[in-house]
């Protein structure tokens, strides 16, 4: 088979509170490092999940978008929407809730549902914290 | 004089945490009334201030936009950005932090600087809580 | 009582097909009047509902936003999303589906649920057909 | 007749250079008044024209949107797009190019084509200079 | 020569109707697979074309953006805007009009005009079906 | 160490005037090549800087976003905001101010501050000239 490879992306939004605070640092070190982000505040977060795969000629789809949306809802959205990311989210327990760490944690949450991605491969997680700041994680390490 | 009346609007954004909770209600009543908004969460808020006045023929301006921006920064933005609206903001002390009440409180904050509005009249405060929800307050009552 | 009057707005989106075609005109007259809009095409519509009322001091709300969203979902969204507006929507039967007529029809749909608006008054319906075209209806006539 | 009154809005964008400079002021007074806006710079401007009128039951329209767009193109867009507003635009000759004055000048340009608005009444001109700054003119004076 | 390689992207929008329906499946299978997308509906589509090439030192351009826009208009936009993608578009004849298949078909349409891309190489087609769903095609297969 | 690799992006906006004009071409050749862009005009530019690096487990960050923002402000924003890009910006002296050349020049400006990027590697510069046109530069050449 020689099927075209396409990436599909679905986006969801959630409203959450958080603060940046490292348990390895003192209060003044935290304040110096994170500035105002050391205070409890919040965001309308947007997160995008991109998966890549061949297009099934029978359906015209890489995978069913409704399935992708459902995975995102159950694996991430329901657990973070209208929550304090620093206290209410078991999968973020002990995690400093920077956008970088959220993207990595969301990757792991989505990856645990690989079987529901219908053969498509998780490609990228984007976390948009504010209109001017976002991060991308492709699953790589160095 | 017969000067054209124009409305000018400046917008600023801030990131804040809040929850909706009425001290007059029990915990279960609060949960029932506010749903997930009863949990601590947060938003990238956007607030818009509109003032109206005649255009000064010498400057082409209703008022200096830099002055309006500075009033908004000092009277509102600095006090709410990267804060928990329910605990850290003196002018919101005892206020249920719905978008409605934020708009009214911001109106009062801006009005206190009427002298710096160069003769323009405060016309509207819009508070945008999320891409799909916003409120407008024009200073009226019934 | 002297309660502040505030307007709250909730927005929803739907994807629908339509064409502009007047039964009172011939085919060529329709083509001349509506141009390419006489062809079947479609939009990601956005509609905004604004209601106005006094802020209840016990709740800080004009009305419960979840109730407004539910009225919009049942009275409009469920009936138009992923539909052909010219054939599949009973409340648009015989209506030329211009944005003007959609706004008026949505007004009537929402108004029929006035009892669920908790005393707030329907103020405006905005229908956004594309990023550069929208209409506003305030319930008035001449 | 008892026809519903609706407002329709069309938006267009143009890219232009300008600076704020009053011929009645000295160079240092201009610099103090306008700050960095006294330098030549530019914007992707967006301007919105809203007209109001009864909906024609035969067409479902307040007026033909293509006609409104064409009026905007010929009366404003063609004259300002990819231009220096301070030198290249005859209808802005001698005008300090604040957003306020642009809105007033655009109102006059559109009003001169009232006969092409099919009975609709010009209601509002909005000029959006940047994502955070815009002005509205409704044709009024004081 | 050692010319910097740059990617340039131009975006256009079109309004179209479509439904998802596979001729290889029964009516109930189509309804189950595509859900509400099996109904005729529509979108304001946005499509982005990215080409990559060295920057010509004489012009500062990878290729003339006006030429790219013209290719997009003639090869895609004119054929899909204000159309029913399932019936009115010869190059989509027999194609299930998922965003994936649209991206592939648009790639082929643009590629047929490679000679007008001034040496730049087609890099990516993005099709944005709604604010929360888009696909990317880079011309690859597996 | 096996640290996750993440890309972080910060965006800033500036308002500037420019025209496209090649000193190697005659006036009529410039007009033919660049069309209306040969006239002095302007934009609300948006530029995005993406850096890539391992996430520091002590901070949860690739690098401090405030540091990245400060590098962007001093190396680019302060030099181009409210300026005529063709005359007022030393680092653009002799450069045809296409979006391609701006992206390359901004890359060089940011690269000169590599020491302040805390070990992260400059990955991409995006320059958005208008809502429908943008360019990306990754530092490569051919």
Give residue-wise pLDDT tens across range B88-124.
Answer: 999 999 999 999 999 999 999 999 999 999 999 999 9
Contact A15, A45 (CB under 8 A): yes
**What pLDDT does residue D1 have?**
56
Q: Which of E6, E11, E59 sits opposite F136 (nearest CB)?
A: E6
**What's the confidence (pLDDT) of residue A12?**
98
Question: Is the pair E, A in contact (3+ CB pairs within 8 Å)?
Answer: yes
Q: What is the pLDDT of residues C63-103, one digit of tens each?
A: 999 999 999 999 999 999 999 999 999 999 999 999 999 99
Query: Tens of pLDDT along F103-140?
Result: 999 999 999 999 999 999 999 999 999 999 999 999 99
Is C113 among the residues known to form the active site?
A: no
Q: B48 CA to chain C: closest CA distance, Å?
A: 14
Q: What does the pLDDT profile of chain F (142 residues) look like in tens digits? A: 589 999 999 999 999 999 999 999 999 999 999 999 999 999 999 999 999 999 999 999 999 999 999 999 999 999 999 999 999 999 999 999 999 999 999 999 999 999 999 999 999 999 999 999 999 999 999 9
Please check whether residue F8 is in contact with residue F56, taking contact to mean a CB–CB distance below 8 angstroms. Answer: no
H helix intervals, chain A: 27-34, 65-72, 78-80, 99-111
* Nearest Cα residue in chain D from C33: D64
Q: Is E31's Cβ below 8 Å from some Cβ in C?
A: no
Contact yes or no for A42/A81 (Cβ under 8 A): no
Shortest distance between the Cα of E61 and any Cα of chain F, in A, equals 6
Nearest CA in chain D to B68: D133
Q: In DSSP terms, which residues pair with A84 in a beta bridge?
A: A17
Q: Are F134 and F60 in contact (CB under 8 A)?
A: no
In this complex, the chains that touch A, judged by 3 or more CB pairs closer than 8 A, are B, E, F
* D5–C99 CB contact, under 8 Å: no
CB-based burial label for D26 (10 Å; 0-12, 13-18, 19+): exposed
**Which two structure tokens, joined as six digits, stand for A91?**
């999968």
What span, in angstroms and rounded, lies between the C-alpha atoms of E134 and E47?
A: 9
**ipTM score over 0.90, yes or no:** yes
The mean predicted confidence, pLDDT, of chain F is: 97
- A86, B29, E120, F9 from F131: Cα distances, Å: 36, 46, 22, 18
pLDDT band at A1 (very low <50, low <70, confident <90, very high): low
| Residue D88 with chain F: CB contacts under 8 Å | 39-40
Residue B37 predicted with pLDDT over 70: yes
DSSP characters over chain B: --PEEEEEEEEEEEEEEE----TTS-HHHHHHHHGGGGS-EEEEEEEEEEEEEEPBTTTTBSS-HHHHHHHHIIIIIHHHTTEETTTS-GGGTT----HHHHHHHHHHHHHTTGGGGTT-EEEEEEEEEETTEEEEEEEEE-
Tally of CA atoms within 13 A in the half-sphere of E140 that contains its CB: 12
User: What CA–CA distance (Å, rounded) separates B41 from A39?
Assistant: 13
What percentage of residues in chain E have a pLDDT greater than 90? 98
In angstroms, the CA E85 to CA E89 distance is 6
What integer pLDDT is reported at residue F1 of this predicted model? 56
Closest CA to A51 of A139, A133, A128, A141: A139
Which residue ranges of chain E lie beneath pLDDT 70? 1
Distances, alpha carbon E126 to alpha carbons A7, A29, E37, F8, in Å: 9, 44, 20, 22
pLDDT at C2: 84
CB-CB under 8 Å, E8 with F141: no
Find the CB nearest D55 among C97, C101, C138: C101
Q: What is chain D's alpha carbon radius of gyration, rounded to the nearest angstrom?
A: 17
Per-residue model confidence as pLDDT tens digits over D100-125: 999 999 999 999 999 999 999 999 99
Interface contact A12-E132, CB threshold 8 A: yes
Q: Which residue of A has its CA nearest to F50?
A: A135
Rounded CA-CA distance C136/F135 in Å is: 37
Identify the residue whose tokens are 């996750």: F4
The minimum CA-CA distance between E51 and chain C, rounded to whole Å, is 26
Q: With CB atoms and an 8 Å threshold, state whether F133 touches E11.
A: yes
Check CB contact under 8 Å for D98 and B7.
Answer: no
Q: Measured between CB atoms, which of E6, E64, E66 is closest to F135?
A: E6
Q: What is the pLDDT of residues C93-128, one digit of tens each?
A: 999 999 999 999 999 999 999 999 999 999 999 999
DSSP 8-state class, residue D38: G
Token pair for F55: 């996430």
Helix or strand run (H / E) with residue A128 = strand A121-130
Which pLDDT belongs to residue B34? 96
Q: If DSSP states are collapsed to H, E and C, what string results for chain E?
A: CCCEEEEEEEEEEEEEEECCCCCCCCHHHHHHHHHHHHCCEEEEEEEEEEEEEECECCCCECCCHHHHHHHHHHHHHHHHCCEECCCCCHHHCCCCCCHHHHHHHHHHHHHCCHHHHCCCEEEEEEEEEECCEEEEEEEEEC
Chain A contact set for E135 (CB, 8 A): 6-9, 62
pTM of the complete model: 0.97
pLDDT digits over D37-61, tens only?
Answer: 999 999 999 999 999 999 999 999 9
Report residue C81 as tokens.
Answer: 């999303």
Q: pLDDT category, B1, cuts 50, 70, 90?
A: low
Taking a C-beta distance cutoff of 8 angstroms, is the pair C14, C77 a contact? yes
Taking the CA of residue C5 and the nearest CA in chain D, the distance in Å comes to: 23
Listing DSSP states for chain C in one string gives --PEEEEEEEEEEEEEEE----TTS-HHHHHHHHGGGGS-EEEEEEEEEEEEEEPBTTTTBSS-HHHHHHHHIIIIIHHHTTEETTTS-GGGTT----HHHHHHHHHHHHHTTGGGGTT-EEEEEEEEEETTEEEEEEEEE-
Asked if C82 is an active-site residue, the reply is yes
Beta-carbon neighbour count of residue B26 at 10 Å?
9
Mean pLDDT throughout A1-24? 95
* Residue partners of F102: CB distance under 8 A and separation at least 6: F45, F47, F85, F92, F127, F135
Which chains sit next to C, with 3 or more Cβ pairs under 8 A? B, D, E
Domains with residue ranges and CATH for chain C: 5-137 (3.30.479.10)
DSSP class of residue F91? G
Tell the burial category of B132 from Cβ atoms under 10 Å away from its Cβ (0-12, 13-18, 19+).
Answer: middle
- CA distance linking residue D110 with residue D74, whole number of Å: 9
CB B105 within 8 A of CB B95: yes
Q: Which of A127, A39, F49, A86 is nearest to B15 (CA)?
A: A39
Q: Is C17 on the interface with E (CB under 8 A)?
A: yes
Q: Which residue has the tokens 């959006």?
A: D128
pLDDT at residue number B6: 98
């Amino acid at each position: 088979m020689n099927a075209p490879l396409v990436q599909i992306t679905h986006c969801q939004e959630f409203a959450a509170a958080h603060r940046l605070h490292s348990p390895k640092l003192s209060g003044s070190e935290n304040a110096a490092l994170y500035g105002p982000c050391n205070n409890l505040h919040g965001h309308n977060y947007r997160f995008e999940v991109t998966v890549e795969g061949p297009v099934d000629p029978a359906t015209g789809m890489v995978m069913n978008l409704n399935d992708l949306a459902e995975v995102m809802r159950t694996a991430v959205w329901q657990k973070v929407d209208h929550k304090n990311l620093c206290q209410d989210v078991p999968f973020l327990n002990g995690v400093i809730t920077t956008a970088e760490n959220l993207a990595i944690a969301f990757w792991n949450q989505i990856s645990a549902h690989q079987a529901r991605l219908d053969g498509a491969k998780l490609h990228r997680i984007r976390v948009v914290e504010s209109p001017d700041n976002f991060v991308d994680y492709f699953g790589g390490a160095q």
